[in-house]
Chains A and B, each alone.
Chain A
Amino acid sequence: MELLCLEMDTSIRARPDPNLLRDDRVLQRLLTIEERFLPQYSYFKGVQKDIQPFMRRMVATWMLEVCEEQKCEEEVFPLAMNYLDRFLAMEPIKKCNLQLLGAVCMFLASKLKETRPLTAEKLCIYTDNSIRPQELLEWELVVLGKLKWNLAAVTPNDFIEHIVRRLPLADDKLVLIRKHVQTFIALCATDFRFAMYPPSMIATGSVGAAICGLQLDSADRSQWGDSLTDLLAKITNTEVDVLKECQEQIERVLESSLREGRQQQQQQQTQRGPSGKGLEELDQASTPTDVRDVNL
C-alpha cells in the first residue's frame, strides 16, 4: 500500500479583521505614528563615511533574496530595511560589517513578524559563513539598543489593505493587485531614494502604480469618479502632486530594474549559446540578479 503524506507545514493565519480595516481610526492612527519610525537623516551625506548608496542596494538585494528563498512573510524585508536605515542614520559602519547588519535586521524583523522565524545559523550560512551566529547575536543587542527596542515600526505593507479596501475594485482582482503592490514596496525598499518617504506614501504610490500597470484604471474608469490619484491621495491624506511624483518614481525604478533584468538575461543567453532552450532555462534566464553588483 502506498502511503501519501499530504501534510504541509502551512502557517495558520488570522483572517483580515473587518473591524480593524473598516474603522477609520486605525488608518488615522497609522498615519499619525508612521513618522516616528523614519530614519532621521539622509545618512550618506553625513554619518556614513565608508559605505555608499550602491552598497545599500547590494545588501538590500541580498536581503530580499534571502527573504524570498526562505519564503518569509512579505513585511519582513521592508521592516528589516527600516531597521537598517534607522541604524545607519545614527551609527557609522564599515563596509565589511554592512552584511552583518543586514543579517541582524532580518533576524529581528523575522522574529517580530513570523511564527517560524529565521534562525541565526541559517542567516550566517547565507553570508557564506563570513559571520558567526555568536556575532549575529551580539550585534542583535547593539542594533536593538540603537533602535531603542522600537521594533514595531509602521511599514508600507501595513497600509495595503486599508487602501485597497477603500477603492472600488473587483474582488477577483484584489489578489493580483496585492501581489503587485507588495512587489513594488519591496522594490522601493531596495532603493535609497525611498528611504525617507513616509510608508503611507510608498504604499499609496505602489497601489497607484499597480492599478495603472494592470490597466485596471482604464477599464473601470467610470467607477472612480475623480481620477485614481485623487482618490488615493484622499485615502492617505497625501498631496496629489507628491503622490503623482512618487508613483512616477516607482514606475521609473521598475523600468530600470526590468531593463537590468533583461540585460542580465541577454548576458546569460550569450554565455549559454543559442541552442536548445528549454522552458526551465528560459525561466532561469529571465531571473534578474545583481551579479554585476557582486563583482565589485
Chain B
Amino acid sequence: MSTRLCPGMYRAGERRAGESLTAACLVKSSAAVRLLLHTGGVKHGRKMCRIMAPHKPTLSSLGGNRRVRRNLFGPVDRDQLQVEYQAALRKDLDEASKRWGFDFKSYKPLESSDFKWEGIPETRVPLLYRSCVPAEGLGPAGGAVPTKPARVEKENIPQTPGKRKLQDLKKTPAKGEKAALKRKQTNITDFYQAKRRVVWKPRKSGE
C-alpha cells in the first residue's frame, strides 16, 4: 500500500483570539488527554492548536506510530478463544430458539412453539434475506434470483458452518414465475422498461 502524504493533517501554531485565557486547545490529539492545557503547561506561552483535518490517514501510516499500535494484555489463546466463540454462539442460538420457537440449526420450527411458522419461497423475500447459495429446484423463478457472488465474500457476514438453504423450510409451493416476479422489490428500471417490455417475458439480467 502506498503512502499518501497529507499535508493538511496538522496545522500547527494556530492561535485563536477566544482561547487566550485559561486554555490552549491542546496540541496533539492523543491519549486520554489531548486537552485544554492550562497555560502554565506549555513553555514560552506558545500555544499550538492542531486542527484535525477531515481526513483519515491511510493504512500505511499505521506502521509509523508504534505507540498506538500495541498489544495490551499479552498473547491471545486462539484455541480457547475459538472454544469460547462457539460456546457463546451456541448459547445465543439456544436463547433465540427458545424465544422464537425455531430451531436455527436444522432450520425447522420447534414442536412446542408460541409461533406458527410458515415457509415462504426465496423469491418473495427481499434480497437481503436470501441465502447466498443459489437455490436449486425452486422452479424457473429460482433461476432468476440474482445472486451476487460479492455478497458471499462480504466481510460482516460470518461464515456459519452448515448453513441451510431457505427453501428447506418451504411449505407453500411457489405459485409460478409470474406470482414470484410480481412480489419482487421494484427497481427504477422496472418503470423505465415497463412500456417496452412485454409483461410475460422474463426480465433481462441486470434488472
Q: How many residues of B contact A (CB 8 A)?
A: 57
Nearest CB of chain A from residue B74's CB, rounded to whole Å: 6
Most B CB contacts (10 A, CB to CB) among A95, A146, A258, A284 go to A258
Selected from B55, B56, B74, B76, the residue in CB contact (under 8 A) with A131 is B76
Does residue B30 face the partner (Cβ distance < 8 Å to A)? yes
Selected from A70, A173, A262, the residue in CB contact (under 8 A) with B18 is A173
Where chain B touches its partner, the secondary structure class is loop
Do the beta carbons of A284 and B36 come within 8 Å of each other? no
Do the beta carbons of B21 and A286 come within 8 Å of each other? no
Inter-chain residue pair count (beta carbon < 8 A): 187
In the complex with contacts A65-B30, A99-B72, A135-B81, A286-B41 CB distance below 8 A: yes
Most A CB contacts (10 A, CB to CB) among B33, B68, B92 go to B33
A11 to B55, CA, bound (A): 8
Of B45-53, B121-129, B130-138, B178-186, which binds chain A? B45-53
Cβ of A282: which chain B residues have Cβ within 8 Å of it? 42-43, 46
Do the beta carbons of B27 and A287 come within 8 Å of each other? yes
Do the beta carbons of B72 and A257 come within 8 Å of each other? no
Do the beta carbons of B81 and A97 come within 8 Å of each other? yes
Chain A's interface size range is 35 or more
**Interface set of B (CB-CB < 8 Å, partner A):** 8, 12, 16, 18-19, 21-23, 25-38, 41-43, 46, 48, 52-57, 59, 62, 65, 67-78, 81, 84-85, 88-89, 92, 155-156, 158
**Interface set of A (CB-CB < 8 Å, partner B):** 8-11, 55, 58-62, 64-66, 68-71, 91, 95-100, 111, 116, 119-122, 125-128, 130-131, 133, 135, 137-142, 145-146, 172-173, 176, 179-180, 183, 186-187, 190, 213-215, 254, 257-258, 260-262, 279, 282-284, 286-291, 294
